[in-house]
Structure 1
Amino acid sequence: MSAVLTLIVVLAVVAAVVWLVRRHNADSAAALADAQAESRRWVERLGGQVLALTGTDDPSRQALADAAERYTAAGSQMEQARTAAQCRQVTETAYEGLYYIRAARTAMGMDPGPELPPLPGQSRAGEVTEDREVEVEGRSLGASPQPTDRNSHYYPGGTVAGRPVPRGWYSEPWWKPALVAGAWGVGSALLFTSLFSGMAGADQAAYADGAALDDPGFDGGADGGFDGADQGGFEGGGLFDNDSDFGGDFF
């Protein structure tokens, strides 16, 4: 009798474990399916804007080119996404692309569309609030809060390789090498202090001595769990809960 009771208990435990494993797998599959659907929606929204808009000047054409680059990257990531976290990376890449779409629309004098939630590190980095023209080691660099013929490269703002880069328009995308390499080169402190020191909208604590901020939010050197894919520059995720984050017809 004791042996039969023991067998029954063992079988009950095994059955419970099997049920829990199946339930976990089903929940994981459902969560992944939801994350994939959410990512596809954002990629499609970005793609729709990329295909629908044509730049009318250098700033808008450059911003649309950057948006198209994020669209391509998001598509590549989508093909490789096998976890909910990787799907969030896809969404965030598309989200970054929508910032470039807003910049392009602004440059063309169009309604930029609904506001976007801030990017990680964006509020800390601040924004360009005045025109600047500086000479840094023989290079002439410009920055302005609005697009100009001179400053036609937009950056939505965030932390690149440990340093905050304010949102604004620049004469050249001087931050891109750091996005690729994950580190700034020699002379970067002089560049930052020359461009942003004393600027009301920039984080002066970061630029006073060229020190890097310890901000894990936005890091262009991160791969987000993908091998060989161009990343959106965001780590983690959870920025979007549903489509209610945005309204309007543009996105």
Structure 2
Amino acid sequence: MIKVEQLSKEFVLTRKLKKELNTTEDKAVAVKNVSFTCEPGKIFSLLGPNGAGKTTTMRMLSTIYKPSSGSIEIGGVDAVAHPQEARKKIGFLTGSTGLYARLTPNELIKYFADLYQVEKHDFEKRKKYLYDLMDMHEFQNKRIGKLSTGMKQKVSIARTMIHDPEIVVFDEPTSGLDVITAENIITLIRNCKEEGKTVIFSSHIMSEVDLLCDDLAIIHKGGLLYQGSMADFKANMEAPNITAEFIRIVNQTKTQHND
């Protein structure tokens, strides 16, 4: 389970950033007082326009960023007070995660398995499952720097999942990928749900959200606009489809701010 309460994150602005953002403020608020809960065996989707605070929120969940205030509970562990303990329970995938270009997928996956102290038998079993699912066998011994974008994303996913985490955080996992690779990732996300894992993901592809998620939250300008089940979201829509409803909710907030 992931439990977030009154989560906020501020960033100190340098003189250069102030000039770029055309502001005199010393700090920028990326996330403000966000609260939600992600249940085991369910898929939770965090939605929002670019710059809404989604990635910042996910990086706090994954202990990459420390919150300015608020609390994060990861699988019963206080992730703010004990980030290393929480990290053992998490698999975090983001498009900005770098890979070691000189290593092969086999070398990289083994390296991360060793970091997580995965037993040899479990490693081989887990590796086979991931390689079979994502059709990675043909390029497992090629240098990562020479792989395609889709292949690199598969390697990133295998790295994320090799220690069989109970909580998985996917930040736009199918962004920029071909249809087949994206479908492999969707299958993996569904498998995580069936295994009883806690899954949270962000996506700009609303058809994926509709297909996968049980619960969702909409974040905009760092604040939470909506939280609830997908069933309730659909039942109370004022627009003809979920994409239009998402846009309506965000635009409604923009109008309120302008007023």
TM-score (norm 2): 0.26
Higher relative contact order (CA closer than 8 Å, sequence separation 6+) = 2
Higher helix share: 1
Highest CA radius of gyration, 1 or 2?
Answer: 1
Structure with more strand by fraction: 2
